[in-house]
Amino acid sequence: MPMQRGRGHGCGGSGWVGGEGWAPGPGRGGGRGRGALLEPAVLASLAQESAHGYDLRKTVEDLTGGFVCVDPGGIYRLLRRLEQEGFVRSSWSEGEHGPQRREYELTADGRELLAQWGEHLRQRERAFHSVIEAIDTSIKAGEQVGIKSTPKGGSDEREKKDA
């Protein structure tokens, strides 16, 4: 069974967290795991409507069904980087019940990056589908020849059949 990750924020799934991760295009990082879905989820959320960083945390968690648990510091680091790179812009807005807050919106370059993310994720989806099919085929083949899987993924053993 794959190791479960999470931060205990009520998020389900295996919980990719943080703000750094792989991104399409040259020089966009080389992420493995942690924030691999945070950037496209934030971009997709901002494509729907502008938002404050705090609101984006909840939107991303809802969008991903709790699969991406958002670290507060991570989302602000990501938003700062996206703004420096020209993919989002921010402006100060009056808080209803407190101080001013930054509101983030997607730029035209951000929409282009979102499209690149869409293609990348579709490619990953195809790869995941192929691996899942191979796993299912291997399991079915093993069942047909009487190989029993062990719970910890240890060595297989042949079922002994009484004659």
138 lies in some domain: yes
State the total domains in the chain: 1
Give the model's pLDDT for residue 45: 96
102 lies in some domain: yes
The whole-model pTM stands at 0.69
Give the model's pLDDT for residue 99: 82
153 lies in some domain: no
The pair of three-digit structure tokens given for residue 52, joined into one six-digit string: 């404050």
Cα dist. 114→8, 14, 75, 80 in Å? 29, 23, 17, 17
CA distance 89 to 107: 7
Range of the domain at 9: 1-146
59 lies in some domain: yes
52 lies in some domain: yes
Give the model's pLDDT for residue 151: 59
Phi-psi map region of 15: left, alpha, beta (phi>0 left; psi -120 to 50 alpha): left
Instruction: Name the β-bridge partners of 105.
Output: 89
48 lies in some domain: yes
104 lies in some domain: yes
Percent of the chain past pLDDT 70, that is, above it, reads: 67
Residue range 95-119, pLDDT digits in tens: 677 788 899 999 999 999 999 999 9
Residue range 26-64, pLDDT digits in tens: 345 434 443 579 999 999 999 999 999 989 999 999 999
The pair of three-digit structure tokens given for residue 150, joined into one six-digit string: 């062990």
Q: Give the domain CATH number at 104.
A: 1.10.10.10
The pair of three-digit structure tokens given for residue 117, joined into one six-digit string: 């993310």
161 lies in some domain: no
